[in-house]
Amino acid sequence: MPANFIEIIINGGNHANFGSYGIQGNDKNATITPEQQWKETAINIIKFINSIQ
């Protein structure tokens, strides 16, 4: 990964919740709702966009 790589971890989320496409291999059970995961994802995208302007 490049030196300026940023990783954001959404605690309690998983791949299946993010994409709404069902359980994926090696996915852990989500402990937050898909809606909460989408909200946290959107918040972090907005923060990132605002940080590069």
Q: Does residue 41 contact residue 18 with C-beta atoms inside 8 Å?
A: yes
CB count within 10 Å of CB 7 equals 5
CA atoms within 13 A on the CB side of 40: 15
What share of the chain has pLDDT > 70, as a percent? 100
Report pLDDT digits (tens) over 27-42: 889 999 999 999 999 9
Spatial separation of the C-alpha atoms in residues 21 and 14, rounded to whole Å: 11
Rounded mean pLDDT, 5-23: 88
